[in-house]
Structure 1
Amino acid sequence: MVTTFLKRLKPLINVGYQQFNNGITPMNAATSYHLKNAVTGTNMANYAIDYTKVMFSDGDLPEAANVAVAATVAAKLDFSWDNDAPIGSTGGTDRATVLAYNVDKDKFTMLPSAAARSAEAYVLQLPPDWSGDTVHCWISFVNALGKEVSNSNYIGEFTVL
């Protein structure tokens, strides 16, 4: 269940878990984390993924501050956050990665490098047939060189217009 869920996020995980390079692949590090922290249930009949604990990125850059998602237009999600990059750090040049997961359709929409942290917003286009569906959303940041990342943040569950 965990590997099936994560394998579709491999491009994000390869960047988001790249610090785990001493004898373990990023995917193995992510799988290990999720098996320990994001699986609920007591036996195979009732195992499930706790979406609030899903992390596709694990790092030291500042996490998204005051992040929010709003569904204001059909098949789009408005992501917003504050640029709280400390003075002397990246100056807000980090790039946001946004992710939405439709549980009913078992599909992801993701966009690495969607917008600069300093933009403080991004509108994610979803498939038109997702209107009326519920999605789970996350955000993370990666620096301009692609070598440093923030933890990914679970934002919440939203109904797509």
Structure 2
Amino acid sequence: MGTIRQGANGSFSGKTGSVIGASWKGIDYIRGLSRKRTKAASEEQLIVQARFYAMTKFLMPITPILRLGFGQVKSDRMTPTNVALRQNIDKAVIGTYPNFELDYSKIEISSGSFIGGGATGISASLGLLSINWDVTLNTLYQSKADDQVIILLYQPTANEFMTAPTPPMRADGAIDITIPDHLLGGKGHVWIFFADRKGTKVSGSTYLGEVDLL
């Protein structure tokens, strides 16, 4: 049974007859009860579903990073994760149905206008992933020495992500991250972005490329 809120003219929550009332992100809405599909999905629908699944499978494990990376994108109707999905599906899902793949170089894990780290370098040797960035501060963008540096590594063979145990700061200029033994021997894809310490300013992510994890 539905519950009426704010009097007879207000919204309601729960099931009433053939409709359901609910609220999401402060928006009240009514939807009909789901109906069982009686008609097979068209090829176009299957293609859309497959593209969505390919990107969702990749992004869901890094939801906490996406909350920061896309947290400043203004959207009253979408979560940061859904914004990330929307921006990446069209750009980074390649190939033909049903054999879709991801173009890692086009995947974005953050979106914003905060200043990044300038020139960056990356290498892997003796079980360490080494990354460096520019520490120069920018008065116009109000960058700070204690800005967070978010680094993400993805190893496709193991289908596993890793980050620095504690995000380094802009002033550090470099970091060596220990690569777990089970990720060594394959190739890794690496991204980086910058955020102020409160997470209220975020840069766009930079794809640093593919690296042999030695």
User: Distance between the aligned counterparts of 2:138 and 2:165, measured in 1?
Assistant: 22
Once the two structures are TM-superposed, the CA of residue 91 in structure 1 deviates from its matched residue by 2.8
CA deviations 1:68-106 (Å, max 9, x no partner) are 1111322x2001011233135123321101111001111
Once the two structures are TM-superposed, the CA of residue 111 in structure 1 deviates from its matched residue by 3.2
Q: Which runs of structure 2 are paired with 1:1-161 in the superposition (5 Å)? A: 1-20=54-73, 21-44=75-98, 46-74=99-127, 76-87=128-139, 89-111=142-164, 114-161=167-214
Between the aligned residues of both structures, percent identity stands at 28
Question: What amino acid maps onto 2:81 in structure 1?
Answer: M
Quote the RMSD (CA, aligned, Å): 1.5
> Secondary structure of the equivalent of 1:35?
helix
> Secondary structure of the equivalent of 1:56?
coil
Task: Give the length in aligned residue pairs.
Answer: 159
Using structure 1 for the length normalisation, give the TM-score.
Answer: 0.92
User: Distance between the aligned counterparts of 1:73 and 1:112, measured in 2?
Assistant: 19
> Secondary structure of the equivalent of 1:41?
strand
Larger gyration radius, structure 1 or structure 2: 2
> Secondary structure of the equivalent of 1:6?
helix
> Secondary structure of the equivalent of 1:5?
helix
Q: Which runs of 4+ in 1 moved over 6 A?
A: none
User: Distance between the aligned counterparts of 2:106 and 2:137, measured in 1?
Assistant: 24
Q: Alpha carbons of 1:34 and 1:135: their partners in 2 closer, same or farther (altered >3 Å)?
A: same
Q: Alpha carbons of 1:9 and 1:99: their partners in 2 closer, same or farther (altered >3 Å)?
A: same
Q: Which runs of 5+ in 2 are unaligned?
A: 1-53
Task: Tell which has more relative contact order, 1 or 2 (C-alpha 8 A, sep 6+).
Answer: 1
Question: What amino acid maps onto 2:138 in structure 1?
Answer: P
- Answer whether contact 1:96 1:113 (CA < 8 A) is retained: no
Question: What amino acid maps onto 1:55 in structure 2?
Answer: E
Once the two structures are TM-superposed, the CA of residue 124 in structure 1 deviates from its matched residue by 1.5
- Answer whether contact 1:64 1:153 (CA < 8 A) is retained: no
